[in-house]
Amino acid sequence: MIQVLQHNFLEIGMMLRLVLCVLKHLVGCIATENLGEIQQEIEFPEVKVDFQETFLGHTSPISRSRFSASGNNIASASLDGTVRIWTYDSSTPSSRNATIYCGAEIMSLDWECKSDRLLLIGTADSGIKAWNVDAKRVVCDLSTTPEFPSILDLKCSPVEPIFVSAAASKRNVDQIGFASLTVWNMKTWKAMSFLWVKIHRQSHLFVSITMARF
């Protein structure tokens, strides 16, 4: 009886070892297939980028560019103080294409978000111009205070007819300078509020902020 049991246990052990070998083989095959799938997913095809359009016309280096909200037009600014409006898609009418002479270095550009008709241009001589692309003319020429001549940035609100301008003053040795944020109403073209920041460098650095509302 004991010999029979020993024989049976040996057969069971051999069967278990065989099953384990089969399972190891199956697991190995599955892992190899998954690894192959992972490698296939990681391998990205080569992407070739073709130029859709090349624009020529600026006579100085281009300092900044912006797409309009609809994506139909591009505004680009050059160091010679000119802004050009382009239409890159041949299916889009090129009636908005224009060259705008600002007479000063262009510091910032932004398109109105909703109507897609107005382009705001900030210059280094305290100027903010609003260019109507359909009328092809400047519909408003704003001037900030002489203390903040450089219009470093312009941003239109995505929900309201307002925009904010960020300006900086000229710097000197003893004083880092001043900065300002102004919120403008695009219906009246008047300033709504003004944030003034003064930064001094003395024994330590400190910032004072004054908020004024018009």
DSSP label at residue 41: H
Contact call for residues 185 and 162 (beta carbons, < 8 A): yes
Q: Residue 206: which pLDDT band, with cuts at 50, 70 and 90?
A: very low
Q: Residue 50: which pLDDT band, with cuts at 50, 70 and 90?
A: low
* 135 against 46, higher pLDDT: 135
pTM for the whole thing? Answer: 0.66
**Coil, strand or helix at 85:** strand
The tokens for 179 are 């900065």
Contact call for residues 131 and 165 (beta carbons, < 8 A): no
The tokens for 133 are 């692309």
Residue pLDDT, tens place only, 161-176:
999 998 887 765 445 5
Highest mean pLDDT of the ranges 30-34, 96-100, 200-204? 96-100
- Element spanning 162, H or E: strand 162-168
Q: Residue 53: which pLDDT band, with cuts at 50, 70 and 90?
A: low
Between CA 151 and CA 166 the distance in angstroms is: 6
Output the CA angle 21-26-27, nearest 5 degrees.
Answer: 95
Residue pLDDT, tens place only, 145-163:
777 888 999 999 999 999 9
Q: Cα 81 to chain center, whole Å?
A: 23
